[in-house]
Amino acid sequence: MAATAVGTYATLANLKSRLGDQDTLDDTLLQLCCDQSNMWIETRTGRILAPIPAFATTVASGFTAGTSTGTLTTVAGLNVGDVLCFEALGAATRESVLVTGISGSTVTTATNVASTHTGAVKRVYVFDGFNSYENGKVLPIPLGIISLTSLEVATFSAGSGGCNTVNVVWYTIPNSDTFIRPNYQERVPGWPGTELCITNVPLPGDITPSFYPGYNNCRVDAAMGWPATPDDLAEVGLNMAVALYRGRGSTGGEMVSVGTDGTQVINRALTYEDKWTLSRYARKDVRII
């Protein structure tokens, strides 16, 4: 079974080192424990707490105007739910589409592409302007943002995946008018930014920059996720993987050990410190009421 977590918090090598395991007899089971632990961390925190590899490739065939399928040169690292963006920034035929199916190297999208595409394609992230605050100047990025390549906004809702539906015009906000916050010195060490901000003093001649109310109308090309896997989460991942491995019998993960004096100790999968660590990294959404 393929791993579903993006980040790797518990690794086979580190788990074997922790257990003092020198052979390869249990490698399949140990890897499964790592995969399950890694997925549980991302499910529990609601984040990918590791670098998210960028995805960029080219169109091998298909994706002609009016169709929703095409073959990419590679799909390694692409997942259903990702948004693909065709053509260079500022191109008249630039558009993005939501991936709804992957079969081999053939990709199916939620909507037909408006133009024929033969060149480069890459993953972007699409957000709702409705989620912005501070008068449309701040967009929360709970996923984490490391660096920004480009930001495009539309003045109202775009189609599925931020596609170029009728009358939707995308404006490119100059990178000099954007800020990733909190600032470096204000972050917990190792953390990415969690907000993308637009200046309140735009360059002369620019449109009034803002995250306008709408759905799928903020298109971001950026390095997302965490700059590196946090050490304390790697420890939690290993602790959980060890507990999963030791609790592989019918009794499950809650083990009872008996000391020489007859004292019984229940060893739970996660300690209080582990749970506190996970709570610190858990996603906290901003809700305006």
pLDDT tens-digit profile of 100-117?
999 999 999 999 999 999
How does strand 264-267 pair with strand 255-258?
antiparallel
Instruction: Give the separation between CA 238 and CA 6, rounded to whole angstroms.
Output: 16
Residue 123 to residue 251: CA distance in whole angstroms: 44
pLDDT category at 286 given cuts 50, 70, 90 is low
Percent of the chain past pLDDT 70, that is, above it, reads: 89
Instruction: Indicate the SS3 state at residue 97.
Output: strand
Token representation of residue 188: 């917990």
CB contact set of 276 (below 8 Å; sequence gap of 6+) = none
pTM for the model:
0.85
CA dihedral over 282, 286, 287, 289, signed as positive or negative: positive
CA distances from 119 to 2, 81, 107, 161 (A): 30, 22, 15, 19
Q: What is the mean pLDDT of the chain?
A: 89
Q: How far is CA 62 from each of CA 13, 78, 139, 153, 224, rounded to the nearest angstrom?
A: 42, 17, 35, 28, 29
Residue showing tokens 């630039």:
94
Measure the CA dihedral 278/35/108/171, to 10°: 30
- Whether 121 shows a pLDDT value over 70: the answer reads yes
Residues 6+ apart with CB under 8 A from 8: 34, 38, 50, 229
C-alpha–C-alpha distance, residues 279 and 228, integer Å: 19
pLDDT tens by residue, 57-95: 999 999 999 999 999 999 999 999 999 999 999 888 899
Q: Are 122 and 221 in contact (CB under 8 A)?
A: yes
| Percentage, residues of the chain above pLDDT 90 | 73
274 phi and psi angles, rounded to 5 deg? -65, -45
Write b or e for each residue in 155-188: b if 16 or more Cβ atoms lie within 10 A of its Cβ, otherwise e: bebbbbbbbbbeebebeebeeebbbbeeeeeeee
pLDDT-derived band at 267, boundaries 50, 70, 90: low
Tell me if residue 35 falls in helix, strand or coil: helix
Q: Say if residues 101 and 72 touch (Cβ distance below 8 Å).
A: no
**In the structure, what pLDDT confidence band is assigned to residue 270 with cuts at 50, 70 and 90?**
confident
DSSP secondary structure string for all residues of 254-280: -EEEE-TTS-EEEE-SS-HHHHHHHHH
